[in-house]
Amino acid sequence: MSGGHKLSCSGIRFLGVLGSVCREAPAHRLRLTGAVNQPDWTLQIKPWIFNKYRTIWSRSYGVTFSCLNRIKRPPWMRLYSTSQTTIDSSEVKTFQALAHKWWDEQGVYAPLHSMNDLRVPFIRDNLLKAVDDHQPGKPLSGMKILDVGCGGGLLAEPLGRLGASVIGIDPVDENIKTAHHHKSFDPVLDKRLEYRACSLEEIAEETIETFDAVIASEVVEHVIDLETFIQCCCQVLKPGGSLFITTINKTQLSYALGIVFSEQIAGIVPKGTHTWEKFVSPEKLESILESNGLSLQTVAGMLYNPFSGYWHWSENTSLNYAAHAVKSMVQEHPGPAEFVIKEDTEELQANTSPSLGMPEELKK
Amino acid sequence: MAARLVVSRWAAAPVAARAGPLVTCRRWSGAAADTVYDVVVSGGGLVGAAMACALGYDIHFRDKKILLIEAGPKKVLEKLSETYSNRVSSISPGSATLLSSFGAWDHICNMRYRAFRRMQVWDACSEALIMFDKDNLDDMGYIVENDVIMHALTKQLEAVSDRVTVLYRSKAVSYTWPCPFLMADSSPWVQITLGDGSTLQTKLLIGADGHNSGVRQAAGIPNVSWNYDQSAVVATLHLSEATENNVAWQRFLPSGPIALLPLSDTLSSLVWSTSHEHAAELVRMDEEQFVDAVNSAFWSDANHTDFVDSAGSLLQHALALLRPTKVSARQLPPSVARVDAKSRVLFPLGWGHAAEYVRPRVALIGDAAHRVHPLAGQGVNMGFGDISSLAHHLSSAAFNGRDLGSMSHLTGYETERQRHNTALLAATDLLKRLYSTRATPLVLLRTWGLQATNAVSPLKGQIMAFASK
């Protein structure tokens, strides 16, 4: 796909917030045996496991490649339906069998399961900072959380067990089915969790300013239009609500390990699966967040040890990192006036929002 | 485009290795009648009840449902009986800390217990002895009757009855394990069928049902065990005269160790491990003969040999040269005047260790995981140590929103406890075998070994620290 590939605005809004996009031609991608996105634990170096990744990820992300070829498709048609022409039904069946792998803790998704050891305390502790007291046993009770790209519900379930009401959305129907099926056995979780196969766009219209927290874990590096995605996240957040993102940094190291090593040398990931250009650096993320009225509170690096299978917090954010941002309390156009230390003076001048008129806010 | 896919049917090797025999997975019918408990503890003895208490009082378990299944009836103790029970346990300081963490220790203090400050362990075949005590003569441990502990635990369980349900007179007759993979209709929980036919489901099953654990057998966990050729005789003894009685005495006879544990100023509890025939004889013989047997077991030097005695005193002189200040003269335990009627009971002894403490959604604690000779007084303390560790792991798992039956934290518990317990089990078995013989070379070895250990205070300190955990 050349750089001049520019989708229409509506196309972006519908398609861009979901799925992964590769710079290369989707047809080329799909030709690869089960073209896959390397899952974001880039140091996964067990090739024999990778075979299992392929069909799963082709399902979630191969689907959206085809979307780009059909920009004029009506927005209300779900992505899933367009896949019929490009995805083999045998592939669908195979994926259905493999969709169960979400919940196999020693299986292909083991790194995502173990990432919960970092993600859940990160989310829980940052949310608890905002409240004065909480119920022991159900610390997050009363909170409404949106999990964008929830997959099989790996992150939604722990948050549900901590008392939160979670809505999980994912573009892929099978994932939602698996997630729904898994939570159905636990009467407590069944009540607290809700899953929908839809896009962030679709849910954003119905749920403006309803969520205490939005989580986009291992998602933003696959989104076409990060700006719009963040905008939608901000839309559904209550003022003062939190946005949690975990993603991969765009550095030489992530290129070396994530692209060169994984894809070209070790052959763990087929060439072109990850697009280094789509990785997001914390600085870029911060500027997009600020321009949408979210202030970045924390950035922390995460490192995966493929031998032990555990993640660790790290000072180094050059590979994976987690970010926590908070939506401003001001209701109107989010202006950069709130977030002083920023240097985007041209935005300051361009913004004619009345909120700018308060000089003391500039000092914050 | 037809994507060529390489689909290899594979079973996750690490999971399969642990899964054991795959039983028919129960179909999930969504029956509302089946409550899904978060934790079910099978077995309401000292360790099972304490586990239920520990979880019930845990701050991160406030939202959870816990069930304790006990086959026996509820033991209600209106008034503490005058006579002491003959089954007592030596509670280490670490166990006392656990019991006080959920308020049971206060009840015990209000009832009765005896602290001991010193322990003398010596050989019947030589003069060698080892004396344990803490620096400031702090309490080394506590002798508490099992009934008293049980009553304290029951009271604490009643206080959290909104979180912990106790089913008395219920026995689990069968268990159904979840399939390793989430199949279409199968329930991911452990299903337990009780004797009355009712069933319940749980996310985590904790087996605390003793050394013949039904949970362990049903899960197919291999168990290494053997019976000792010894039985233990327990009795409550009246001392000839009231003493301060804060010393625990143990003498290794060739037939087995005899121990005198303080209960009060005038009472002590006896634990005498000896051969099956001798144990039966002791229980049968009349009281006077029994008292004489006990006194002579502690006092008689009939098993001494000159050779070993002189070798022992040689080492003693050498040690005295190196450390002239420390002198441990052998003290004699208080003499026994009479024994409580009907307090003589015997029970067989054995050794056992489960190869695994955990399986997916199953954990073993207490005697279900390990069974030990009473010579070191560690049996129930190891069980309480298991509880501390498992409760700690489950608590942080609950605070992280994890599935309680998940192997990630269960293996953490297993590693921690296996390391501790294996060492203690091996040491106890070794001591038992070492002290069961009259053969001179071994007697000499153990005499010198004991004397040397007694002389090295840091080593004694380490031993005490390990046993107090």
Sort residue B205 into left (φ over 0), alpha (ψ -120 to 50) or beta: beta
Rounded-to-integer distance, Cα A63 and Cα A66, Å: 6
Q: Please check whether residue B243 touches A, CB under 8 A.
A: no
Does A106 contact B15 at a Cβ distance shorter than 8 Å?
A: yes
Q: Is the sign of the CA dihedral B370, B374, B376, B379 positive or negative?
A: positive
Residue B29 inside a domain? The answer is no
Q: Please check whether residue B65 touches A, CB under 8 A.
A: no
pLDDT at position A8 is: 43
Rounded-to-integer distance, Cα A82 and Cα B453, Å: 79
pLDDT at position B266 is: 93
Instruction: Say how many CB pairs under 8 Å bridge A and B.
Output: 102
pLDDT at position A202 is: 86
Question: Is A75-327 a CATH 3.40.50.150 domain?
Answer: yes
**Do A245 and A129 touch, CB atoms closer than 8 A?**
no
Q: Please check whether residue B359 touches A, CB under 8 A.
A: no
| Ordered alpha helix ranges (H), B333-406 | 379-399
In sequence order, the 6+-apart residues with CB closer than 8 A to the CB of B13 are none
Q: What is the CATH number of the domain that holds B421?
A: 3.50.50.60
pLDDT at position A76 is: 44
In sequence order, the 6+-apart residues with CB closer than 8 A to the CB of B218 are B174, B175
- Amino acid identity at A164: A
Distance from CA of A128 to the nearest CA of B (A): 12
Helix (H) or strand (E) holding B429: helix B407-434
Q: Which of B29, B61, B63, B204 to mutate to test the interface with A (most CBs of A within 10 A)?
A: B63
Give the phi and the psi of residue B172 in degrees, each rounded to 5: -80, 125
Tokens for B103? 């308020």
By Cβ distance, the residue of B4, B180, B400 closest to A121 is B400
Residue B15 inside a domain? The answer is no
Between residues 247 and 306 of chain B, which touch chain A (CB distance below 8 Å)? none
**Do A271 and A241 touch, CB atoms closer than 8 A?**
no
Q: Is the sign of the CA dihedral A264, A267, A270, A275 positive or negative?
A: negative
In chain A, residues under CATH classification 3.40.50.150 are: 75-327
DSSP string, B292-334: HHHHHHHH--TT--HHHHHHHHHHHHHHHHH-TT---PPPPPP
Q: Please check whether residue B17 touches A, CB under 8 A.
A: no
Three-state DSSP class for A209?
Answer: coil
C-alpha pair distances (Å), A188 with each of A143, A157, A162, A178, A206: 15, 10, 11, 17, 25
Name the pLDDT band for A205 (thresholds 50, 70, 90). confident
Q: Please check whether residue A33 touches B, CB under 8 A.
A: yes
**Do B42 and B216 touch, CB atoms closer than 8 A?**
no
Name the pLDDT band for A38 (thresholds 50, 70, 90). very low
Residue B22 inside a domain? The answer is no
Tokens for A38? 């390397």
C-alpha pair distances (Å), A69 with each of A11, B3, B108, B396: 11, 18, 76, 48
Give the E-state strand segments of A203-280 in sequence order. Answer: 211-217, 237-248
In this prediction, the residues of chain B whose per-residue pLDDT falls under 70 are 1-34, 181-184, 324-328
Q: With b meaning 16 or more CB within 10 Å and e meaning fewer, what string describes A269-283?
A: bbebbbbbebbbbbe
Helix (H) or strand (E) holding B52: helix B46-56
Rounded-to-integer distance, Cα B422 and Cα A87, Å: 55
By Cβ distance, the residue of B30, B181, B402 closest to A104 is B181
Q: With b meaning 16 or more CB within 10 Å and e meaning fewer, what string describes B185-206?
A: ebbbbbbbebeeeeebbbbbbb
Work out the average pLDDT over A148-170: 93
- To 10 degrees, what angle do helices B457-468 and B407-434 make? 130
**Do B24 and B179 touch, CB atoms closer than 8 A?**
no
ipTM of the complex: 0.83
DSSP string, A29-41: HHHSTT--PPPS-
C-alpha pair distances (Å), A11 with each of A64, A67, A201, B81: 12, 9, 11, 83
Rounded-to-integer distance, Cα A13 and Cα A11, Å: 5
Residue B76 inside a domain? The answer is yes
Distance from CA of B171 to the nearest CA of A (A): 25
In sequence order, the 6+-apart residues with CB closer than 8 A to the CB of A361 are A337, A338, A355
Q: How many domains does chain B have?
A: 1
Domain limits at B319?
A: 35-468
Helix (H) or strand (E) holding A26: helix A26-31
Q: With b meaning 16 or more CB within 10 Å and e meaning fewer, what string describes B241-260?
A: eeeebbbbbbbbbebbbbbb
Rg over alpha carbons for chain A, rounded to the nearest Å, is 20
State yes or no: A287 annotated in a binding site: no
Does A31 contact B14 at a Cβ distance shorter than 8 Å?
A: no
Is it the case that residue A134 has pLDDT exceeding 90?
no
pLDDT at position B182 is: 61
Measured in whole angstroms, the distance separating CA A148 from the mean position of its chain's CA atoms is 6
CA dihedral A243, A246, A249, A254 (to 10 degrees): 180
Q: Which residue of A has its CA nearest to B34?
A: A187
Q: Which residue has the tokens 């290369």?
A: A24
Residue B82 inside a domain? The answer is yes
Work out the average pLDDT over A73-86: 39
State yes or no: A192 annotated in a binding site: no
Does B401 contact A90 at a Cβ distance shorter than 8 Å?
A: no
Is it the case that residue A362 has pLDDT exceeding 60?
no
Distance from CA of B3 to the nearest CA of A (A): 5
Q: Using a CB cutoff of 8 Å and minimum separation of 24, what contacts does B76-85 make?
A: B76/B154, B77/B147, B77/B151, B80/B111, B80/B112, B80/B148, B83/B236, B83/B340, B83/B343, B84/B145, B84/B236, B84/B263, B84/B264, B84/B267, B84/B269, B84/B340, B85/B145, B85/B146, B85/B147, B85/B148, B85/B236
Q: Which of B1, B4, B5 to mutate to test the interface with A (most CBs of A within 10 A)?
A: B5
Work out the average pLDDT over A295-314: 89
Does A107 contact B14 at a Cβ distance shorter than 8 Å?
A: no
Residue B17 inside a domain? The answer is no
Q: Which residue of B has its CA nearest to A102?
A: B182
Contacts of B28 in chain A (CB under 8 A): 185
Q: Which of A53, A185, A310 to mutate to test the interface with B (most CBs of B within 10 A)?
A: A185
Is it the case that residue A33 has pLDDT exceeding 60?
no
Q: Is the sign of the CA dihedral B445, B447, B448, B454 positive or negative?
A: positive
Is it the case that residue A223 has pLDDT exceeding 70?
yes
Does B407 contact A117 at a Cβ distance shorter than 8 Å?
A: no
pLDDT per residue over A48-65, tens digit each? 444 444 444 444 444 444
Q: Which residue of B has its CA nearest to A50?
A: B6
Q: Please check whether residue B182 touches A, CB under 8 A.
A: yes
State yes or no: A149 annotated in a binding site: yes
Q: Please check whether residue A26 touches B, CB under 8 A.
A: no
Between residues 92 and 111 of chain A, which touch chain B (CB distance below 8 Å)? 94, 97-98, 100, 103-107
pLDDT at position B468 is: 81
Q: Please check whether residue A308 touches B, CB under 8 A.
A: no
pLDDT at position A263 is: 67
Does A105 contact B406 at a Cβ distance shorter than 8 Å?
A: yes
- Is B51 exposed, middle or buried (CB count within 10 Å of its CB: 0-12, 13-18, 19+)? buried
Q: Please check whether residue A190 touches B, CB under 8 A.
A: no
Longest dimension (CA), chain B: 97
In sequence order, the 6+-apart residues with CB closer than 8 A to the CB of A260 are none
Q: Please check whether residue A31 touches B, CB under 8 A.
A: yes
Residue B253 inside a domain? The answer is yes
Is it the case that residue A290 has pLDDT exceeding 60?
yes
Total residue length of chain B: 469
Give the E-state strand segments of chain A in sequence order. Answer: 144-148, 165-169, 193-196, 211-217, 237-248, 294-305, 310-314, 320-327
Rounded-to-integer distance, Cα A30 and Cα A118, Å: 34
Rounded-to-integer distance, Cα B462 and Cα A120, Å: 39
Distance from CA of B103 to the nearest CA of A (A): 19
Give the E-state strand segments of B29-147 in sequence order. Answer: 36-42, 66-69, 88-91, 114-116, 118-123, 129-133, 141-145
C-alpha pair distances (Å), A180 with each of A33, A325, B31, B350: 29, 29, 18, 49
Q: Is the model more confident about A11 or about A288?
A: A288
Tokens for B74? 């509820």
Contacts of A267 in chain B (CB under 8 A): none
Contacts of A136 in chain B (CB under 8 A): 59-60, 62
pLDDT at position B6 is: 39
Contacts of B64 in chain A (CB under 8 A): 137
pLDDT per residue over B124-161, tens digit each? 888 888 888 887 878 899 999 999 999 999 999 999 99
Give the residue among A214, A205, A216, A206 at the shortest CA–CA distance from A234: A214
Tokens for B55? 């979880």
Residue B10 inside a domain? The answer is no
Q: Please check whether residue A240 touches B, CB under 8 A.
A: no
Rounded-to-integer distance, Cα B400 and Cα B238, Å: 54
Between residues 104 and 163 of chain A, which touch chain B (CB distance below 8 Å)? 104-107, 113-114, 116-117, 120-121, 124, 135-139, 157-163
Q: With b meaning 16 or more CB within 10 Å and e meaning fewer, what string describes B300-316?
A: eeeebeeebbebbeebb
